[in-house]
Amino acid sequence: MSQHTTVCPALFIAAPASGQGKTTLTAGLARHLRGQGKRVAVFKTGPDYLDPQVLAAAAGEPVEPLDLWMAGEAYCGQRLFEAASRADIILVEGAMGLYDGQPSSADFAVRFGLPVALIFDCQGMAQTVGALAAGLAGARAALTVTGLLANNVGSQRHAALIAEALPGDIRFLGHVSRDQALTLPHRHLGLVSPDEPGAALDPALSHAAQMIATTTLMDAARDVVFQAYPAAVPGRWLAGRRIGIARDTAFSFVYEANERLLEAMGAELVAFSPLADASLPPVDALWLPGGYPELHGPALAANTAMREALRAFHADDKPILAECGGMLYLQDHLTELDGTTHAMMGLISGHGIMRDRGGCQGMQTAPLPEGDIRGHAHHRTRTEDGPTPIAHGRRARHPAPGEPIVRDRRLTATYLHLFFGANPPAVAQLFGATSI
């Protein structure tokens, strides 16, 4: 092997649809391998904040989401190469169904030569699993499906019927029985974060590891050659600047890749808590990421000292980026599902309202004055009476206008979660860089 390639066992875990148990069983496999003394590098395809936190709790190290559209092939490939250089095994969990989305989980697996293990929730079917698995495996010649794990199986006979129906080139990797103890707690945007009080995810992860130990899921892994993708080094455009980041249980949707990029551009990152702190740290710019402000309305509203600090910061014409939950926090009011309304910070007009269904998700480009930045939307609220937007997000594959983007002096607010690596110079300017 040259210095630009490395070999590491790897496995891509996919399913025919969401809700099949991918995250639980991927986490269980990571925990099981970690218990064997192996260093496991885990990734999640697609934009996601919550599943990676659960996977990280199982793997014992950070888990990064990788998305071909948002981050690009070179970024994703380099992250895999770096992981292969230090890990004993790489696990990648797919998003949604195997062929859902453009690019899809299948696109990702094919591009990087990853063998695929299918996870099927088999409740209500037996031999049909074989036909569905054959269809998924055969729909794309370049895809390598090496095995299938049957989840939510009712009996040994049920498992035997599934195994007998699989095509000869798809190995039966065992089964996981129906078990409520394997269910991870959810809420409206996905899994509950392991850091939340009362989350109690660790027993479920340990139980999943025990169940995985009875299967041969790892037999689906193969050695993969990973290629290096040398990346351009960003300029030190933020050298000497301090950026305050809201980080607590209300604001936790942060890609570590975004933090790494800000630091690579020279910024010093300073965390603060809108829930607990009475003042802002001495910083030059603010980043208010997404999260769950709707779960903390009373506490956020009661922190009037922080409200005054934020208003003074904005009045000083310093840069502020507010994404999704951060934008809701800066609006006038936020209403919960039961109709309870809380006063928020009032830096921009708008009334955020929780809804019990619907919402918005999908890939969009933010056409900012500083330049286009790719990102995504994922929320269960709507905003009324907001200011006139300066632009709308461009959807990746639909002509309808995307999320509104508003700006008040140096405050930029949007529902979009931005991937900073998509345009580092534009991001640097958002946070106050004057020389690019």
352-393 tens-digit pLDDT: 998 876 556 789 999 999 999 999 998 788 889 889 999 999
DSSP state of 168: T
Q: What percent of the chain has pLDDT over 70?
A: 94
- Say yes or no to pLDDT of 412 above 50: yes
| Domain 242-430: assigned CATH number | 3.40.50.880
Exposure string over 174-202, b if 16+ CB within 10 A, otherwise e: bbbbeeeebebeeebbbbbbbebeebebe
Catalytic residue among 76, 122, 324, 360: 324
Q: What residues does CATH 3.40.50.300 cover in the chain?
A: 5-226
For residue 319, what pLDDT is reported?
98
CATH topology of domain 5-226: Rossmann fold (3.40.50)
Measured between alpha carbons, how far is 231 from 354 in angstroms, rounded to an integer?
41
Measured between alpha carbons, how far is 65 from 73 in angstroms, rounded to an integer?
13
Token digits for 423? 């345009």
Measured between alpha carbons, how far is 54 from 421 in angstroms, rounded to an integer?
24
Judge whether 8 counts as a catalytic residue.
no
- The string of DSSP codes covering 62-104 is --EEE-HHHH-HHHHHHHHHHHHTT-SEEEEE--SSTT-TTTT
For residue 48, what pLDDT is reported?
86
Token digits for 39? 């260093």
If we measure between CA atoms, which residue out of 348, 364, 355 comes closest to residue 417?
Answer: 364
Measured between alpha carbons, how far is 28 from 116 in angstroms, rounded to an integer?
17
> Per the confidence metrics, is the pTM higher than 0.85?
yes
Q: Which helix (H) or strand (E) holds 31?
A: helix 22-35
Tokens 């990853």 appear where? 114
- Say yes or no to pLDDT of 351 above 70: yes
Q: What is the mean pLDDT of residues 407-431?
A: 97
Q: What residues does CATH 3.40.50.880 cover in the chain?
A: 242-430
